[in-house]
Chains A and B, each alone.
Chain A
Amino acid sequence: DTAVSQTPKYLVTQMGNDKSIKCEQNLGHDTMYWYKQDSKKFLKIMFSYNNKELIINETVPNRFSPKSPDKAHLNLHINSLELGDSAVYFCASSQQHAGNTIYFGEGSWLTVV
């Protein structure tokens, strides 16, 4: 009965490959996010998306693209993977208003070799 679920939890892949990480939330939230946690455990926003707009952190390479088939899903596609993409990627969701709790998925550990 997980509120925010992501798959896969672990992914090891070669440089140059294209991969996707899926995220689903069953909380009825209207806003979903992708965050990246680097090797130093520092979290940074990558994207936020609701049914009105996609907001992209300008530092995110355009090899990364979010795709939302519906309000409950926000998948992360990564093209031409690079070694530096190795990180933990967290999906999260909340209601749009700033004053609402944010719920995180369990993280997806991506290793690029």
Chain B
Amino acid sequence: KNEVEQSPQNLTAQEGEFITINCSYSVGISALHWLQQHPGGGIVSLFMLSSGKKKHGRLIATINIQEKHSSLHITASHPRDSAVYICAVRYSGGGADGLTFGKGTHLIIQP
């Protein structure tokens, strides 16, 4: 069964802390996405990875293809980072040719 597992499910931290959210998947993928969903509901794509590491501002995403694992890091976290972070993969083998999603990590950054 193709599954995407995220941890932790919920995370509360203080402003300024370094945040790490993990994602693991079970079979070969062609791409992995990190998405952000704000309380209002809209979904924004943060990163698309197929290998290595990407950085955008305070956000860093890494992927290890051999270990089937990805991490999303937030440096100097801020209350506006509070959101649900969702890992999603596109499997190499087909299916509905869309993304398969993790259940999300609900992040709260307290001032």
Contacts and interface: CB of A to CB of B under 8 A. Distances in A.
A41 B43 contact: no
Interface residues of B, number: 25
A48 B98 contact: yes
Nearest to B103: A42
B62 to A, nearest CB: 17
Chain A interface residue number, banded: 20 to 34
Q: Describe A's contact surface by its main secondary structure.
A: strand
A78 B84 CA distance: 28
A46 B100 CA distance: 11
Most buried by A among B41, B48, B100, B103: B41
Given A107-B42, A107-B43, A102 B99 contact: yes
A44 B48 contact: no
Given A99-B50, A100-B48, A45 B100 contact: yes
A102 B45 CA distance: 7
B42 A99 contact: no
B41 A107 contact: yes
B31 A99 contact: yes
A98 interface: yes
A57 B96 CA distance: 5
Given A99-B31, A102-B45, A107-B41, A35 B98 contact: yes
A83 interface: no
